[in-house]
Amino acid sequence: MRVVFLSMLLIGVSTASIGCGATMADNTSSKEETSPTEQPELRAPTAEEVEAAKKAGKVQVLLDTAKGQITLALDGAAAPIAVANFLNLVRTGFYNEMPFHRVEPGFVIQAGDPLLVERSPVGYTIEDEKSPIKHLRGTIAMARVYRAGQMVPNSGSTQFYICLGDAPHLDRMGFTAFGKITEGMKVIDQIRVGDKIVAAKVVEDS
């Protein structure tokens, strides 16, 4: 069984095997209301979607959580694959009703395990990117698979984490940071294991 972790030093409550990739982008008005158990088949972002994310640059995503709202500014110029992936997942409704399954005080909160919303693991991963974004408090980044005592390269998936404090060792380990919180910094400190993302949406789609 594969397990997704952020660090070889801090092993959290992460659950089993996941692939990483984007979902089908759906521009209908009901996309954010899709039931977690009725998601379309997930797929990796296309080259066109990656290029669009790169050209778009900063894109805002709103996470409405059980403890309040978090506004994220994703940076497609810094990490276009990760951003295209995350935007597709959000637009499909993948993160709606998704619980945070890992909380490490002063370190990270983590969410995005499909098994926790009764979905099968996705069947693909996305590549790591050399993002210039540093792992500071409020940074969002892709989790990876930890297996056989090692962090697996290019194993990013649906799971993401948000830093509760500065974590420069994650920069050295090559995790892909792809954005940061612009509003709701106090909310992340209140998140506990089991708290849900009630709904996620791309602000420009509203």
Q: Could you tell me the two tokens for 104?
A: 């490490």
Question: What are the tens digits of pLDDT across the range 83-138?
Answer: 999 999 999 999 999 999 999 999 999 999 999 998 877 888 999 999 999 999 99
The sheet carrying 144-147 orders its strands as 3-5, 144-147, 150-151
Dihedral angle, C-alpha 50, 54, 58, 63, nearest 10 °: 10
**pLDDT tens-digit map of 160-186:** 999 999 999 999 999 999 999 999 999
Domains and CATH numbers, the chain: 44-205 (2.40.100.10)
Is residue 194 within 8 Å of 81, Cβ to Cβ?
no
Predicted confidence (pLDDT) per residue in 37-89, tens digit: 455 678 899 999 999 999 999 999 999 999 999 999 999 999 999 999 999 99
